[in-house]
Amino acid sequence: MKMNFDFEKFEDVGSYFRTVINSLKQMNYSEFQSDQFHRYEDELESLIGEKKVA
C-alpha cells in the first residue's frame, strides 16, 4: 500500500509518525477485534486522514 502525506514543516514528520506508531502499538496490545482495538483503529484512520494526500 502506497500513500503520500503532506506536512508543513519537516519537524512535524517525526512527531506525526511517532503518534501513528503509538496507535499501532496500542492496537497490538489490545485484544483482537475488541472495543479498545477498534477505538485505536478509528484513531489511526483519523490520523492518516489528517495528513494523507488524496
Partner 1 sequence: MEKIAFQKIYTKISKVTKATCSLIAENAGYEELAFVHKRLAQVVKIIDKEVTLQVFAGTEGIPTNAEVIFLGRPPSLRIGPDLEGRFLNAYGDPIDGGPELTGVETEIGGPSVNPVRREQPSQLISTGISGIDLNNTLVTGQKIPFFADPDQPYNQIMAMLALRTRADKIILGGMGLSNDDYLFFKNTFENAGALDRIIAFINTTEDPPVERLMVPDMALTAAEYYATNFNQKVMVLLTDMTLYADVLSIVSNRMEQIPSKDSMPGSLYSDLAKIYEKAVQFPDGGSITIIAVTTLSGGDITHAIPDNTGYITEGQLFLRRDTDVGKVVIDPFRSLSRLKQLVIGKQTREDHPQVMNTAIRLFADAANAKTKQENGFDLTEYDDRTLKFAHEYTEKLLAVDENLSINEMLDTGWDLLASHFSRSEVGIRENLLEKYWPNGKECEIVNVATESNS
Choice between 19 and 48, CB closer to partner 1: 19
- Output the smallest distance, CB 6 to partner 1, in A: 19
Distance CA(49)–CA(43), nearest Å, equals 10
- Output the smallest distance, CB 31 to partner 1, in A: 12
- Output the smallest distance, CB 12 to partner 1, in A: 10
Number of C-beta neighbours around residue 16 at 10 A: 16
Distance CA(2)–CA(38), nearest Å, equals 23
Give residues in contact with partner 1 (CB under 8 A). 11, 14-15, 18-19, 21-22, 25-26, 29, 36
Distance CA(14)–CA(33), nearest Å, equals 29
